[in-house]
Structure 1
Amino acid sequence: MEIIRYAELRAEPWRNKGGVTRELASHPKAASSQDGAWDWRVSIAEVSKAGQFSAFPGMDRVLTVVEGELLLLTVDGAEHPLEKYRPFRFSGDADAAGALPTGDIRDLNVITRNGAFKGYTSIIELSKKRAHPVFEGQFGILLQGQATVSPGNAGGGDSSGEGEATEAVSVPGEPETLGRYDAVVGSDSATPEILGRGFLAVVSIDRVT
């Protein structure tokens, strides 16, 4: 079982100085989280001022506001008010810019290369009575509240075979407490299970066949 600790991730400033990005995972690993030399990437960005978004030609994007009230996203001239916990998909080729009518926001970004992978983001409410499993090719990211994660059965689990997690640490069989924005790497062996109260983002990276 692997956990990516958000507090240990390096913040990379945007080229336009409008925010910073922390990469949770990418495949294959790149020297920089912003150079686009990967087929998929999962990251969290802090947006502190309005401005143009970087283009990712040949990519598909899913953006979800996870902190703050509203991001006013303009994509190819069309305005899209993005509220918290409402994933929005758009093309990485698009001319995109963001405005912050209610102040700073933090967003979860899933970017995948067209024809190779497809990314999905779902927001679920956690339960203390029913554990939520995180399977191979998935990441479970704690957005709000308190939660613990433990392997579904005895023995160690394998991380997602398609990705190389950043700052991943091995965890024994006992439940481990998750901090805000910590990510659990999914596995089909000793599948991690998350219990708690709050909201979880489940990111799925599917290979296109």
Structure 2
Amino acid sequence: MEIIRFAELKPRPWRNGGGVTRELARFPEAAGDESWDWRVSIADVARAGAFSGFAGMERVLTVIDGELLLLTVDGAEHPLEKYRPFRFSGGADSAGALPTGDIRDLNVMTRTGAFKGYTSIIELSKKRAHPVFAGQFGILLQGQAAVSTVAGQTADADSVQAADAGEPLGRYDAVVGSDTGTPEILGRGFLAVVSIDPVPEHPAN
């Protein structure tokens, strides 16, 4: 079972000085900046301004702390409220404004035609474990939770005790999914489930 601890991630300042990004994962891992096929990161946005362009990429952006990001994409304004994922082209002319103050957002970027990224926000339960499968990341956004490899999705008293004795998660810690010994998360709060699916190749006509 692999857990990416948010507190151990190195913040990387933006070139325009408007915020910092902490990268959770990328593929391939050894790829240089902007040569990866997908990336999952968390950014702190402290100042309004233009977003960096990522031509050939698709982005799913979700505000995970703070109230509102006013995102402008190719001249159209989109008010992004907390926990509402928004998909747009990485190559679009985009900028963000902060009418209610600083925000933190979750970014999922995938190379168009190779991968497709999805973000879902779910409410955790202490009675029903949430599994995290291969190709997924479970990121604790709020609350208290623990992760274990308890078999089955419906937790009984014994499995709840096992999960409580498992690995506790801090805020923004990410659980890497697996189909072997699938990690399962129990607790109270909100979880972001990021799924990255390969795009099947289409046979030539």
Distance in 2 (alpha carbons) for counterparts of 1:31 and 1:121: 23
Q: Say which SS state the counterpart of residue 206 (structure 1) adopts.
A: strand
- Partners of 1:55 and 1:23 lie apart in 2 by 17
- The alpha-carbon deviation at position 31 of structure 1 amounts to 6.3
Per-residue CA deviation, residues 148-200 of structure 1 (Å, 9 max, x unaligned), is: 000134xxxxxxxxxxxxxxxxxxxx510000000000000010000000000
- State the 1:30 CA deviation: 4.5
1:19 aligns with 2:19: yes
For 1:100 and 1:185, the matched residues in 2 are separated by: 31
Structure 2 residue 3 is matched with structure 1 residue 3: yes
Amino acid at match of 1:183: A
After TM superposition, give the deviation of residue 47 of structure 1 in Å: 0.2
Structure 1 runs not aligned, ≥5 long: 154-173
Q: Which runs of 4+ in 1 moved over 6 A?
A: none
What residue number does 2:155 align with?
A: none
Corresponding residue number in structure 2 for 1:192: 183
- Give the SS at the match of 1:124: strand
Measured in 2, the distance between the counterparts of 1:30 and 1:62 equals 23
Partner residue in 1 for 2:72: 74
- TM-superposed deviation, 1:129: 0.4
Matches within 5 A, 1:2-151: 2-30=2-30, 35-151=33-149
Distance between the aligned counterparts of 2:187 and 2:21, measured in 1?
27
1:30–1:37 contact (8 Å) kept in structure 2: no
* Structure 2: distance between partners of 1:80 and 1:116: 27
**1:205 matched residue in structure 2:** 196
Higher relative contact order (CA 8 A, sep 6+): 1
Q: Aligned partners of 1:30 and 1:99: how far apart in 2? A: 33
5+ residue gaps, structure 2, are 152-164, 201-205
Whether the 8 Å contact between 1:142 and 1:178 is mirrored in structure 2 is yes
TM-score, normalised relative to structure 2: 0.90
Calculate percent identity across the aligned residue pairs.
81
